[in-house]
């Protein structure tokens, strides 16, 4: 049974975390894209962290340590050699996923495609 936004909020409150799930909140409205079509330019560590913070990814993820979800480094390691890593991670960001990292599912996020692609490429750039 899928989790509702109230279920997620209750889980996060139980864990002592802010929700940060972007479940229809106008505070996290998508921004328009003025960049040309194609792959976005790679982000620096600081730019990636800023985008992850703006998109509330840091409510569940950290760069080096597991929080509610896996660390970005662990995601990068798992998908390092996969040719479809960027589109796969974009899909998980936008549509959610379950069962890949344990019992807590990741709900789909209200992140536009360009930002999701930037985040996916940034995450993959973190592999050690």
Q: Give the domain ranges of the chain.
A: 5-28+39-125
Question: Do residues 42 and 78 touch, judged by C-beta distance below 8 A?
Answer: no
Bigger pLDDT: 13 vs 69: 69
Q: What residues contact 113, with CB distance under 8 A and at least 6 apart?
A: 90, 94
Candidates 68, 54, 67, 63; CA nearest to 125 is: 63
**pLDDT value of position 127:** 86
* CATH superfamily ID and name for 5-28+39-125: Cytochrome c-like domain (1.10.760.10)
Specify the higher pLDDT residue, 25 or 79. 79
pLDDT of 56-114, one tens digit each?
A: 999 999 999 999 999 999 999 999 999 999 999 999 999 999 999 999 999 999 999 99
Query: For residue 70, how many other CB atoms are within 10 A of its CB?
Result: 20
- Reported as half-sphere exposure (CB side, CA atoms, 13 A), residue 45 has a value of 6
Question: Global pTM?
Answer: 0.68
Is 119 within 8 Å of 52 (Cβ atoms)? yes
């Amino acid at each position: 049974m899928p989790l509702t936004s109230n279920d997620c909020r209750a889980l996060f409150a139980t864990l002592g975390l802010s929700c940060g799930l972007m479940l229809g909140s106008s505070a996290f409205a998508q921004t328009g894209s003025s960049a040309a079509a194609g792959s976005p330019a790679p982000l620096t560590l600081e730019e990636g962290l800023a985008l992850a913070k703006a998109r509330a990814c840091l409510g569940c993820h950290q760069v080096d340590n597991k929080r509610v979800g896996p660390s970005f480094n662990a995601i990068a390691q798992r998908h390092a050699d996969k040719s479809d890593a960027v589109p796969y991670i974009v899909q998980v960001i936008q549509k959610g996923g379950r069962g890949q990292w344990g019992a807590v599912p990741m709900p789909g996020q209200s992140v536009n495609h360009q930002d999701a692609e930037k985040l996916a490429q940034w995450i993959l750039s973190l592999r050690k």
